[in-house]
Amino acid sequence: MSHHDFAPIVVKGRNCWRIERADKARMIVDAADYYALLEQLMADAKERILLIGWDFDPRIALKPDKDGRGEPLGDYLLRLAKNCPDRDIDILRWNFGGLKQFAMPRIVSMIARWKLTRSISFRLDSAHPIGCSHHQKVAVFDDHLAVCGGIDVGSRRWDTRGHVDGDPHRTTPDGKPYMPWHDSTMILSGPVGNALAELGNERWQRATKKPLRDIEGEGENWPDDLETDFEEVDIAISRTRASYDGYPEIREIEQLYLDMIAAAKRFIYFENQYFTCGKIAAAIAERLNEDDPPEFVMVMPKTADGWLEQMAMDAARVQLVRAVAKSKHGDRLKIYYPRTAGGEPIYVHAKTAIVDDRMLRVGSANMNNRSMGLDSECDVTIDAALSANAGVEPVIRRLRESLIAEHLDADPVEVARLFDEGGSLIDAIEALRGPGRSLELLDLVPPGPMDEFIAENELLDPTSPDAMFEGLTERGLRKSWHRGRDWMRRHMGRKS
């Protein structure tokens, strides 16, 4: 299939903010590789390091040793500031998560030391409606090189692609082991880095009421030893933002999810933390009612992280999956969770989507309502149909095979062969599933009455900031399901 055979899915002003050139781009899987790279990128930056995130923990080691210890990030930043006092280090994190940390003496004393350091600015972001969060995970170096994806610089995130059982490196700052963790992000250089710098600058200005200082933007080149996946490609940047303080609502990410589902011909491969958005589920169900629909494969956590999230998110997921399964070809949706060789579930925090090996999307947005309209999100997408992106399909395919092979502890060549032989992603995965490290089909345990009530009324996952204050009759999974179904019918030209 040449890139002339289909229209682009990404359309500026519809489902993305801007489409900009990346001189170089690479997908990075799991935080061990990202944190090691981040240490290098920060050291190499000449004028500014800008870190924007939902979480930020100065106690973690970017390169933990075999006891899970190492130089804490906070100390590393102080060392960078001392070595190069003219370089700005600007850190912006979500306020609610940040406030919890003020109960931790080690963090408080570190932030106090930063305060005495002229070149370090640490700020909390509360520029959003009550109940919303700042969820973007963006790092920008010298306004030229940027990282955008799902990985926060927080505790309980570091892991390798091996997801080894009992890995001693996988230890929290207070010495407790944590579960295996799967995540992804993208590093990008060139004009797309300038665009993400603009996004970061705007966010900083809204949160602090002061702009970042102007810099030359000459510095920060691509690391010499880092291989690229893509060169000279166009990247779409998509956002979610709730309306606040005179800034209008943005729902580019939601639109891109719907447009991807509508455009898929053979399959969509998702890695995502949540599946609780009725609109997305209804869009998938509409496709599965076609005579020969694409396959939808989701790799997700076995259960959500935290008791309250489990009650709300897992129950909503069960209800949506059961509803989708009633479609004519409901068996073409499969949800798996990865597990280690010893059988422990691996937590999937990645937000990756691959459509027909023609489109790769990596970002911060989950397939839940919050990521569609409440929380600030940022995703980046490479679409083979854009003229600059001719010939990227084999690279996207290789990345997909590598992800699936990682989860199944298989050879990517085998993943490719089985897919080519049968033309079915699901059949290829089923043929490779086995004991030990593998993918397990998600067991849809029926939710109890309390879970069901929380999920059905979207108590933890409202569709908009206003929905948090609506009566229970005004909201719910069924309503968002109907909205998604109606959109697909209009878009795909079907009769309802």
**What residues does 125 pair with on adjacent strands?**
94
Given the DSSP bridges, would you call strands 359-363 and 352-355 parallel, antiparallel or unpaired?
A: antiparallel
Tokens found for residue 427: 């059949």
**What residues does 5 pair with on adjacent strands?**
none
Tokens found for residue 268: 């969509």
What pLDDT sits at residue 446? 67
- Amino acid identity of residue 149, one-letter, is G
What pLDDT sits at residue 463? 76
CB 319 within 8 A of CB 332: no
DSSP secondary structure of 317-379: HHHHHHHHHTSTTGGGEEEEEEE-TTSPBPEE---EEEETTTEEEEES--BSHHHHHTSBEEE
- Residues of the chain short of pLDDT 70, as ranges, are 1-4, 97-99, 220, 307-308, 445-447, 450, 454-455, 457-460, 467-475, 493-496
**What residues does 28 pair with on adjacent strands?**
185
As a whole number of angstroms, the distance between CA 78 and CA 89 comes to 10
Count of CB atoms situated within 10 Å of the CB of 95: 16
What pLDDT sits at residue 277? 93
**What residues does 181 pair with on adjacent strands?**
347
DSSP secondary structure of 401-429: HHHHHHHHT--HHHHHHHHHHHS-HHHHH
By C-alpha distance, which of 126, 371, 347 is closest to 250?
371
Could you report the per-residue pLDDT of 467-478, keeping only the tens digit for each? 655 554 455 778
Phi/psi at 295 (nearest 5 deg)? Answer: -90, 150
Report the sign of the C-alpha dihedral through residues 299, 433, 394, 355, in that order: negative
Phi/psi at 232 (nearest 5 deg)? Answer: 50, 55
Going from the C-alpha of 5 to that of each of 21, 123, 234, 268, 441, the distances in angstroms are: 22, 47, 18, 18, 35
Tokens found for residue 295: 């396959």
Per DSSP, 167 falls in state -
CB 278 within 8 A of CB 484: yes
Tokens found for residue 60: 């973690």
Phi/psi at 430 (nearest 5 deg)? Answer: -60, -35
As a whole number of angstroms, the distance between CA 489 and CA 283 comes to 9
What pLDDT sits at residue 475? 59
Per DSSP, 63 falls in state S
By C-alpha distance, which of 317, 323, 354 is closest to 335?
317
In the chain, CATH 3.30.870.10 sits at 3-232, 236-491
- Amino acid identity of residue 87, one-letter, is R
CB 127 within 8 A of CB 244: yes
What pLDDT sits at residue 125? 84
What pLDDT sits at residue 448? 73
As a whole number of angstroms, the distance between CA 382 and CA 399 comes to 13
As a whole number of angstroms, the distance between CA 53 and CA 72 comes to 18
In this structure, which CATH number among 3.30.870.10, 2.60.120.330, 3.40.50.300, 2.60.40.1180 belongs to the domain 236-491?
3.30.870.10
By C-alpha distance, which of 305, 491, 277, 260 is closest to 374?
277
- In a 3-state reduction of DSSP, which class is residue 394? helix
What would be the CATH architecture of the domain defined by 3-232? Answer: 2-Layer Sandwich (3.30)
- In a 3-state reduction of DSSP, which class is residue 4? helix
